[in-house]
Each structure stands twice: as C-alpha cells, then as structure tokens.
Structure 1
C-alpha cells in the first residue's frame, strides 16, 4: 500500500502479484474479493492490472477522507489476508504493513522470503539500509515476532 495525501482525501493503493503464472479466472477472483471488501467498508473500488510477459501486478486503489484513516488499517489487513489466501504476495506496501508483508511470504516453503533475505544479506550484510523495507529482512533478524520462527532457515 502506498499512500498519497491531499487536503481533502487520502489515496492508497495495494499492489499484489502472484509468484506464478496468472489466469483470467484467478485475476477475476482477486478483483471480486477486493471489490467485496471495499464495498463492505463503503469504499469505492478502483482496480487495475499491469500485465507483463511473465507476471501481472494487481492494483487496488482506495481513496478516503483523512478522518477515516484510523479504521483503514483494518481494511488493509483484510485485503492483505484475502490476497494471501488467493496466493498473492504484496508487491509494494506502506511502512505500517511491512511485518505483515514479510509474514505473508509463505508460498513454496517461504522461497520468496528466503531469496530476498539472501539478497539483503549479500547487498547489506549489516542490515542498515531500508531495514525491513517492503517486508525484506536480513536473515539475522529474529523472525519469531512474525510467527515464522525457523520457517525461513535454509
């Protein structure tokens, strides 16, 4: 989720992608779930897909009044949980949701989380650059607080 603030509205987008090939049915199911969650919270849904040769990024844009910011976190967590159930990973996330993004990287025995931790260890062995950004952690970080424990061990 990336948020942009204007005087009268806040716009946030949730972007997610699957780590494997998409189907039209799968994209529609993601859209239908996001639409229902938005409608259940009296929000307008604006969804988009960016299609590339081997993957698709699904985007759910939500705009709301700044006074609704307090309850929007519940909406975001619901959207993230729905996406996770459908096999999607967060592609981009707000700093408030980085731990949840890391915890959701469970596809294929946590392959994505292990891979990004390995890259982070190689590029930033001290773990000082953009700590936990986009849910990417160094492998030395204690993951117990995410409920992952030994799941990321190689």
Structure 2
C-alpha cells in the first residue's frame, strides 16, 4: 500500500504543471543595467527623483536615496540584484500569471520595462492585459512605445529604451 501511494505521489509530481517562479536571465540583467547605467553617487533622474547605482531610488530597507548618498560597486550590484530578484521579477511573474507561457526574453523585457515604470503602472497597463491574452500579439510592440513620456514630453532616451525592450521581447 505504501508503494502504491508513493508511486501516485511521484506520478502526480511528474504530470503537474511547474509552478516555479520565473527568474531573470543574465541577458535580462545586462539589458536592464545597459539602460540604467551605473552611478556610485546619487543623482536626480530625468523625472527629478534621487537615484543611485543602477537606477535605484530606494535601498533594501525601503529608505529613499537622498542627495549626497554614495555607494560602492559591490553595494550597487547587491542593491540591483535585490530589487530585481526580490521585487520586480516576482511581481511581474505574479501579475502575468501562471497560465501564461512566456519565452525567457519576453519575461526579461517585461522585468526591464517594469523596473523602469514601476509595478503599479505595469499592473494597470494595456501591455500587461495583452500579454495575458496572447504574449505573441504583434501590437504589444505598440504598447511598449506608449511609455516614452516624462512630465508630458517625449524622452528620446525612453524611445530608445522601449524600442530595444520591444525588440528583445520579440527576439
């Protein structure tokens, strides 16, 4: 009897869909870092928000980056890894949902996008709605391109970023 129950458990585990959380690939990390650049001294981004490291506005404890803050290279790497792995990737995974099959580059592009606009904005975006319905919908490219404004003005830096994120998503 024990063997039969054990076999059923093993069989169920082999046939059940994987619920493992999606994670960012090295190419995804490199994509985000390439857009964000690195600053070991706090600076104001184009929206006027104090930022440090690879585009981080908060530290691991949740406190805001402030004028005059500095960070080491290792500190910047740790801070980046923390926010991508503990916040952005899990939240994108949760918002997209388990039933949606994404290729790695699609997931990475969505994490890069969300790292830039925030999880709140991503959660209500038409881009997310379209991804949930059909991740290969060609109009998703247009949804990336809607997010190119800073204070009502088109930012060429965001146009460039969105084009590259969309290209990466569809690669």
Greater strand proportion: 1
Greater helix proportion: 2
TM-score normalised over the length of structure 2: 0.31
TM-score normalised over the length of structure 1: 0.33
Q: Over alpha carbons, which structure has the higher Rg?
A: 2
Determine which structure has greater relative contact order: mean sequence separation of CA pairs < 8 Å that are 6+ residues apart, divided by chain length: 1
